[in-house]
Amino acid sequence: MSGYPHTLNLWGVLSQSKRIINAHSRHFLALSVSFLLPLSFSLIIYPTLQTALFHSDSNLFHTHPSHLSFSFTSTDPYDPIRNLTQPDPQSLLLLLAYTLLAAVLSLLALATISYSTFHGFYGRPVKLVSSMKSVLYSFLPLVATLIVSRVIYALVVLLFGLLAVIVVQGVQFLGFEVGYDSNYLMGLGVFVGVVVVLVVMWLHVNWSLAYVIVVVESKWGYEALQRSAYLVKGMRWVALSVLLFFGVLIGLLVGGCSSFLVSVGAASGGWTSFGVILQMVVSSGFATLLMLQNIAASVVLYMYCKALHGELALDIAEEFAREYVYLPFDNEKVPHVVCVVQS
């Protein structure tokens, strides 16, 4: 039996979540293939698909010139009517369908993987059927929590935008002329934008455990957001580091690969090119692994936050010792001991 004092930091969260995933590798592989792999593939392929379907100058599908349809729109690049941006109903419909699909896959992955990671943390057996059944109880609460958080984000943006308008109107009311192309107005816009980003980021850090709470504690909506803000106290820097670590890696991977497919895909032989197909497969695989690790890390962070607030000992009093948390894993059948030390 091996023991080690555990420090509450990013690398501790990552190592513990990786240990849980490795202990039930086939189980998490099945969940990842079911939900995260389609999600990551859609994130990478959507910009290319949109470009191919709604831009006539795209040759991703190598359309023959004789198959192109002609329109009676003006070809003058200086025509003001041509330069007006008009939303394409088909493009908006595709965006709506894609957003709905991505949201559903994300919530399904959150529900099942969070449920399995939570039980895996205690060393309990995890079953695929039980993880799938957890969706029946947590999907709608997850949807409600997502809607509440997005409404609050929108209200924050609207509030700061309204304050900026009030400031501009107040300056004009005092007799000063404010040009819409002035540097002062641009500076105000940049300042308001930075403040909005910081406020939204602060809320996101405080609510980083909300979806885990929905799955584990059966709380939803604003109650789950409040509970997350309470638990994350004292661990905000760790929560921020987890969000930035996975956010930057996933963002660079998905953004870089999707941009590569849009810019280079046509030149390298379209969708039938082996290089393009290999790029999509490899990128989707790495993005899936990062998303899986991200969800598992959120659950581990939730458990550490409960331990920091003295709640974990109450939950495991009937199963484990009073001062230690024993984590038996299937890997070589060696139980691991984690001692959570509070300062």
Question: 316: pLDDT confidence band, cut at 50, 70 and 90?
Answer: low
Number of structural domains found in the chain = 1
Has residue 236 been placed in a domain? Answer: yes
Has residue 297 been placed in a domain? Answer: yes
Whole-prediction pTM value?
0.77
Has residue 130 been placed in a domain? Answer: yes
Domain with 125, as residue range(s), is 2-50+85-340
Has residue 78 been placed in a domain? Answer: no
- In SS3 terms, the chain reads as CEEEEECCCHHHHHHHHHHHHHHCHHHHHHHHHHHHHHHHHHHHHHHHHHHHHHCCCCCCCCCCHHHCCCCCCCCCCCCHHHHCCCCCHHHHHHHHHHHHHHHHHHHHHHHHHHHHHHHHHCCCCCCHHHHHHHHHHHHHHHHHHHHHHHHHHHHHHHHHHHHHHHHHHHHHHCCCCCCCCCHHHHHHHHHHHHHHHHHHHHHHHHCCCHHHHHHHHCCCCHHHHHHHHHHCCCCHHHHHHHHHHHHHHHHHHHHHHHHHHHHHCCCCCHHHCHHHHHHHHHHHHHHHHHHHHHHHHHHHHHHHHHHHCCCHHHHCCCCCCCCCEEEECCHHHCEEEEEECCC
What are 186-240's pLDDT values in tens digits? 888 888 889 999 999 999 999 999 999 999 988 999 999 999 999 998 889 999 9
Has residue 68 been placed in a domain? Answer: no
What are 240-258's pLDDT values in tens digits? 999 999 999 999 998 888 7
Has residue 63 been placed in a domain? Answer: no
Has residue 13 been placed in a domain? Answer: yes
